[in-house]
A and B are shown apart, each in its own frame.
Chain A
């Protein structure tokens, strides 16, 4: 069985400061890990994914994520947050087979001016 945890319901950060959104996962095989963002009243937008190779993955809008196999984590980061980054962020995992995504519960990011 696969699972994913986002331990923080909400992350508050001041504009210009670094932003980190945490995600840990559990899968039986090799994981495929994804980050999505959801703005109010919108669908989920794909940010980035880890398949294999380099542990640091770069994605859209200046976001990046670091895969850490020993800690089974895939934290999303942005060096300098913008007010427009305020949204709901979802981590998702899929194992090395066909099947469903397992989404985390989501983390609300609030960036204040």
Chain B
């Protein structure tokens, strides 16, 4: 069983379109995250939810909107896609928000904006 899954794995779209990426975890974790990995492989956190409540919201354009319908799901919707949004987006989850809690990552979604 896949612990943290994301769909789709690849997403190719035109500038200006709206797209969503879905994430699900079956680990029973309370906390979920979205990260962006750029072309230089640098990882940056975007959002974090704990028990469906937003707890981390980095300086991300408001075209990005996360939604957590329940603890096991955290989706990312992106409006008006731009070339600079091209990246790999990773979902992750952890037991909670405590310091020692390990984050477990999904396989990633490679977004290409043309």
**Interface segment, one of A14-22, A72-80, A95-103:** A95-103
User: Which of chain B's residues has its CB closest to A105's CB?
Assistant: B42
Most B CB contacts (10 A, CB to CB) among A97, A101, A105 go to A101
Name the one of B55, B56, B102 contacting A34, with C-beta atoms under 8 angstroms: B102
CB of B41 within 8 A of CB of A32, answer no
* Least CB separation from B97: chain A residue: A98
Contact present for A99 and B97 (CB under 8 Å):
yes
Is A112 at the interface (CB under 8 A from chain B)? no
Q: Do A98 and B98 touch across chains, with their CB atoms under 8 A apart?
A: yes
Q: What is the 8 Å Cβ interface bit string for chain A, positions 61-102, against chain B (1 contact, 0 not)?
A: 000000000000000000000000000101000111111110
Taken residue by residue from 38 to 64, chain B's Cβ proximity to chain A (1 for < 8 Å, 0 otherwise) reads as 001111010010000001101000000
Q: Decide if B100 touches A32 in the complex (CB within 8 Å).
A: yes
Contact B45 A43 (CB under 8 A): no
Residues of B within 8 A of A46 (CB): 102-104
Residue contacts A-B, CB under 8 angstroms, 25 given: A30-B99, A32-B100, A34-B102, A43-B4, A44-B43, A44-B105, A45-B105, A46-B104, A49-B100, A51-B100, A96-B99, A98-B97, A98-B98, A99-B56, A99-B99, A100-B45, A100-B56, A100-B58, A101-B103, A105-B40, A105-B41, A105-B42, A106-B41, A106-B42, A106-B43
- Is B108 close to A, CB under 8 A? yes
- Beta-carbon nearest neighbor of A31 in chain B: B99
Instruction: Count residues of chain A with CB under 8 A from any CB of chain B.
Output: 26
B43, A32: Cβ atoms closer than 8 Å: no
Contact between A44 and B90, CB atoms less than 8 A apart: yes
- How many angstroms from the CA of A38 to the CA of B104 in the assembled complex? 12
Residues from chain A with Cβ under 8 Å of B48 in the complex: 100
Q: State A98–B48 Cα separation when bound (angstroms).
A: 11
- Complex contact B42–A94 (CB within 8 A): no
Given contacts A99-B56, A100-B56, contact A94 B105 (CB under 8 A): no
Q: What residue in chain A is nearest B94 (Cβ atoms)? A: A101
